[in-house]
Amino acid sequence: MKILVIEDDREAADYMQKAFAEAGHTAHVAGDGETGFALADAGDYDVMVVDRMMPRRDGLSVIAGLRSRGNTTPVLILSALGEVDDRVTGLRAGGDDYLTKPYAFSELLARVEVLNRRASAREAETVYRVGDLELDRLSHSVKRAAREITLQPREFRLLEYLMRHAGQVVTRTMLLENVWDYHFDPQTNVIDVHVSRLRGKIEKGFDKPILHTVRGAGYMLKS
Amino acid sequence: MALSLPAIMRTTAARLSALYFLLFALCAVLLVFYMTSLSARMLTGQTQQTINDEVLGLARAYQRGGLPVLVRVVEQRSRQPGANLYLIADANGQILTGNVQSLEPGVLETDGWTTEPFSYRRFGEGELERQRNQAADPNGAPPGETEIQVEGEKGHNAIALVLRLPNQMIMLVGRDLGEPERFRAVIRRALMLALGMMGLGGLLIWFFVGRAALKRIDSVSEASRRIMGGDLTGRLPVTGAGDEFDRLSENLNTMLARIATLNEGLKQVSDNIAHDLKTPLTRLRNRAEATLSGKHKTTDYRQALEGTIAESDQLIKTFNAILMISRLEAGYSSESTSKVDLAAAVRDVVELYEPVAEEAVVALETSVDGDFTVNGNRELIGQALSNIVDNAIKYSTDATEKPAVRVALQRVGHEIRLSVADNGHGIPDDADRARVTERFVRLEKSRSQPGSGLGLSLAKAIMTFHNGKLELLPANPGLSVIMSFPAREDH
């Protein structure tokens, strides 16, 4: 995956570049808004990571500029401004995801991989399949090895999200945001309990595990 | 109030007074001049009209009986008290008859109206007879002598019409200008008096009104100097008069109170950071130091680093919570509010916690049926409620009966009350219950439980943001946490 990082904090940008490389991606770094805009406009990137407050041109203006020129590259906004309204402003400017500083790199990586436009073609599919697990988005039915599994509505949405991003790491925050539409950190790890309950339903009675825990990062659905 | 003159002149009251005074004076002077000149012109016109009438009468007398009749009429009229000026002279200007003893030279040389007022001297009442006798005798004392006598003294002023009779004799009919001049003098005196009074009045007004205002302003700036000196508890004086100054002082006092609150909040945050973030930071540092010193296996380093990350994450969480609490409490959070279906928001949170409760073997019951719409922020309400439900589940596990948490919504008057009650041990002590919503306060029993001691503080701040309140009541057994929202008016 080709990633463009537009971030004025040199140290943070270098760290990101190195870490993305370790994860098998290529990352280019632009140190200010103008340079970033020029690079994004010329190059063909899969995902962009854009800081909000930067010299010469702020992140939101860069994104709005690119969108008005027809550039649809998915953008993840990085910002120290973390209130819900800041997030709404960011997403309205054309961002696809929003991550508040300070963040864990594992979280950033998981989100960037989920944003990857080559991987996110599943949106239109009506039936998701991962191994012998099958989820029909229209009839709201779930089957594993042709055996029907009954899920609560929220469990269905949880599984749907995990299956859409099968093979990718999905963090707890991503689940809380996308399945429950909450952006705060619950005191107890409620997500773990929901996931283990779902795991019980889709793994119990089958020989192979399919919902894996990724240490220090989150979960991954993989056959 | 010991102010020097320049200092007084710098005050707004003095400047305004001076400006008003100047404007008034200018208007008064203009008005008085206009009136004077108008009246003078009117008086002159009247004088000329009187003279014209006189001349007309005399002309008729002349036509009737020639010079003798004219002279007789003139003499007759001259004798009347307050008479006009009459004079008949021969062609050389020698006075023959009339009540004028002497004139400025040259007056008789031009016919028609005199262009300028001229000075003259009238015969005294006693002298009149004698002069007339003299005049009857053309060989009397030369008139030049009389003129010389007169010129040294100040005569009266008059205007006159000079006519040449068909026999080349000169007739003058005039009128004294004493009256208009007296009038002018009166006006002038009145003007002076008025200006003087205005000046005095202006000074008095400034003294009583301006100085009073100055005093008020001075007391306000005195008080503000004290406050600037660091005494944020100081307030501006309010006299209770309810005037502009009082309103200004009241507004500034409200502002000061707000600033004091914000300042207090800021101080509390910095105190909190100093006390409660130092400990985990020290722990973090010590862990790193201990790992570096001495020989360790790779797995030890890994373990230490993982611990460091976990501890840092906890620190960040705490830090975010502190920031959020102070922003919400200070009222400068940028979070927006909209219509929120409280029942749906409650169901979402309960649904989120259902598996947790189940795992802890706590019955999570809800009674949220009905339409409960409030003005608020779903995310914040969700966060507050999740903190409270989280606590309730944690602390109901030590219940003597079957542990249960009840979440209920009900409308009471103008409030919508969201209550979360558990049947655990609760917080029996009133003081503890009041204290537990303060930042970082963790009661003895809860020290063993994970948490930052900020959950309830955050919930309280969120309720403050929603113009509501958070109350902790004993539920016997257990604790009941009540979040009261103001009901929407349009409901």
Task: Test B335 with A182 for CB contact under 8 angstroms.
Answer: no
More confident residue, B314 or B409: B409
C-alpha separations of B335 from A88, B137, B366, B418 in Å: 10, 120, 28, 21
Which of B126-130, B144-148, B337-341, B354-358 comes out lowest in average pLDDT? B144-148
pLDDT (average), residues B85-99: 81
Shortest Cα–Cα distance, B228 to chain A (Å)? 33
Nearest-by-Cβ selection for B335 from A83, A190, A193: A83
Range of weakest confidence among A47-56, A119-128, B266-275, B438-447: B438-447
In chain B, where the domains are located: 12-182, 244-330, 338-486
Residue-level pLDDT at B128 = 46
3-class secondary-structure state, position B125: coil
Across the interface, do A83 and B382 touch by the CB < 8 Å criterion? Answer: no
Ordered alpha helix ranges (H), chain A: 10-22, 33-42, 59-68, 84-92, 105-115, 153-164, 172-179, 190-203
Inspect the interface and report whether the beta carbons of B352 and A86 lie closer than 8 Å.
no
CA angle B454, B460, B463 (to 5 degrees): 140
Closest-CA distance, A180 to chain B, in angstroms, reads: 8
B306 — contact with chain A (CB < 8 Å)?
yes
Asked whether the beta carbons of residue B352 and residue A104 sit closer than 8 angstroms, the reply is: no
Interatomic CA distance for residues B254 and B65, integer angstroms = 101
If you average pLDDT over residues A18-32, what whole number do you get? Answer: 89
Does B223 score more than 70 pLDDT? yes
Tokens of B415: 């409030």
For A87, which residue in chain B has the nearest alpha carbon?
B335
B267-B271-B276 Cα angle (round to 5): 150
* Percent of chain B residues topping a pLDDT of 70: 86
Q: Residue B336 and residue A183: Cβ atoms within 8 Å?
A: no
**Chain A residues with beta carbon closer than 8 angstroms to that of B356:** 188, 190, 193
Tell me how far CA of residue B74 lies from CA of A81, B137, B169, B445, in angstroms. Answer: 112, 17, 14, 132
A186 with B348: Cβ contact below 8 A: no
Residues of chain A contacting B317 with CB distance shorter than 8 Å: 185
Nearest-neighbour CA in chain A from B325: distance (Å) = 12
pLDDT in tens, B101-116: 777 777 777 788 887 7
Find the residue in A nearest to B385 (Cα).
A186
Q: Does B455 touch chain A (CB under 8 A)?
A: yes
B125 versus B101: the higher-pLDDT residue is: B101
Question: Out of 3.40.50, 1.25.40, 1.10.4160, 3.30.450, which CATH number does the structure's domain B12-182 have?
Answer: 3.30.450
**C-alpha distance from residue B228 to each of A215, B42, B232, B246, B262 (Å):** 56, 68, 8, 20, 16
Can you read off the two tokens belonging to residue A103? 């963040």
Check whether B46 has a pLDDT greater than 50: yes
For residues B353 and B356, give the distance between their C-alpha atoms in angstroms, rounded to a whole number. 5
Neighbouring C-alpha atoms within 13 Å toward the C-beta of A115: 26
Residue B186 three-state SS: helix
For chain A, give every domain's residue range: 2-118, 124-221
Mean pLDDT value of segment B428-436:
74
**Is the CB of A193 less than 8 angstroms away from the CB of B359?**
yes
CA pair distance B133, B123, nearest whole angstrom: 12
B63: left (phi over 0), alpha (psi -120 to 50) or beta: alpha
For β-strands B404-412 and B363-367, DSSP reports them as parallel
For residue B132, the model assigns a pLDDT of 46
Q: Residue B428 — very low, low, confident or very high, per pLDDT cuts 50/70/90?
A: confident
Q: How far apart are CA B125 and CA B82, in angstroms?
A: 11
pLDDT at A2 over 60: yes
Among A68, A91, A92, smallest CA distance to A177 is for A91
Residue that is written with structure tokens 């309720």 in the block: B463
What is the count of residue pairs from A and B with beta carbons less than 8 Å apart? 57
- Chain A residues closer than 8 Å to B383 by CB: 182, 184
Give the residue from chain B lying closest to A215, CA to CA.
B306
**Residues in chain B closer than 8 A to A186 (CB atoms):** 352, 386, 390
Closest CA to B350 of B363, B332, B341: B363
Closest CA to B82 of B133, B136, B122: B122
Say yes or no: domain A2-118 is CATH 3.40.50.300.
Answer: no
Write down the mean pLDDT value for chain B. Answer: 79
**Which residues 6+ apart lie within 8 Å of B47 measured at CB?**
B159, B175, B177, B180
How many CB atoms are located within 10 Å of the residue B87 CB? Answer: 25
Q: Residue B9's pLDDT is what?
A: 65
Would you call A157 exposed, middle or buried from its count of C-beta atoms within 10 A (0-12, 13-18, 19+)? middle
Name the more confident of B409 and B165.
B409
What pLDDT shows up at residue B156? 72
Does the pLDDT of residue B216 top 70, yes or no?
yes
* Distance in angstroms (rounded) separating the CA atoms of residues B210 and B204: 9
Please tell me whether residue B440 adopts helix, strand or coil conformation: coil
What is the predicted ipTM?
0.82
Nearest to A187 among B313, B348, B390 (CB): B390
Sheet bearing A141-144, strands edge to edge: A127-130, A133-136, A141-144, A147-149
Does residue B451 carry a pLDDT above 70?
no
Q: What's the confidence (pLDDT) of residue B129? A: 45
pLDDT > 70? residue B2: no
For residue B307, the chain A residue with the least C-alpha distance is A216
Q: What is the mean pLDDT of residues B90-95?
A: 80
Interface contact flag, B379 A183, Cβ < 8 Å: yes
Q: At what angle do helices B127-136 and B12-79 cross, to 10 degrees?
A: 50
Q: Which helix (H) or strand (E) holds B339?
A: strand B338-341
Nearest chain A alpha carbon to B388: A187
- Is B449's pLDDT higher than 70? no
pLDDT in tens, B303-352: 888 888 888 888 888 888 888 887 787 776 667 778 889 999 999 999 99
Per-residue pLDDT band for A195 (boundaries 50, 70, 90) equals very high
pLDDT digits (tens, 9 = 90+) for B344-389: 999 999 999 998 898 888 888 888 888 888 888 888 999 999 999 9
Torsion of CA B294, B299, B300, B305, to 10 degrees: 120
| Residue from the list B336, B359, B390 with its beta carbon closest to the beta carbon of A186 | B390
Residue A104 has what pLDDT?
A: 84
Task: List B150's β-bridge partners, or say none.
Answer: none
Nearest-Cα distance to chain A for B386, in Å, is 7
- Predicted confidence band of residue B483 (pLDDT cuts 50, 70, 90): very high
Residues in chain A: 223
Residue A162 pLDDT class (50, 70, 90 cuts): very high
Whether residue A10 is predicted with pLDDT greater than 60 in this model: the reply is yes
State the fold for domain B338-486: Heat Shock Protein 90 (3.30.565)
Tell me if B151 sits within 8 A of B163, measured CB to CB: no
Q: Would you tell me how many other CB atoms lie within 10 Å of the CB of residue B226? A: 14
> Chain B contacts of A195, Cβ < 8 Å?
none
> Which is it for the CA torsion A181, A198, A174, A101, positive or negative?
positive
> Among B317, B353, B356, whose Cβ lies nearest the Cβ of A185?
B317
pLDDT of amino acid B141: 42
**Angstrom distance (rounded) from CA B453 to CA B458:** 10
Alpha-carbon distance values, B182 to B35, B43, B178 (Å): 15, 12, 6
CA-based nearest distance B265→chain A, Å? 19
Banded model confidence at residue A50, pLDDT cuts 50, 70, 90: very high
pLDDT at A194: 92
B435 Cα distance to chain centroid: 45
Q: Is B338 on the interface with A (CB under 8 A)?
A: no
Taking alpha carbons only, the member of B164, B197, B189, B196 closest to residue B89 is B164
User: For residue A175, what pLDDT is reported?
Assistant: 92
What would the CATH number be for the domain defined by A124-221?
1.10.10.10
The alpha-carbon gap from A126 to the nearest alpha carbon of chain B, in Å, equals 26
Cβ atoms of A7 and A51 within 8 Å: the answer is yes
Task: Specify the range with the lowest mean pLDDT, choosing from A64-68, A167-171, B3-7, B256-260.
Answer: B3-7
A interface residues, B as partner, C-beta within 8 Å: 82-86, 102, 104, 154, 180, 182-188, 190, 193-194, 197, 216
Residue B3, pLDDT > 70, answer no
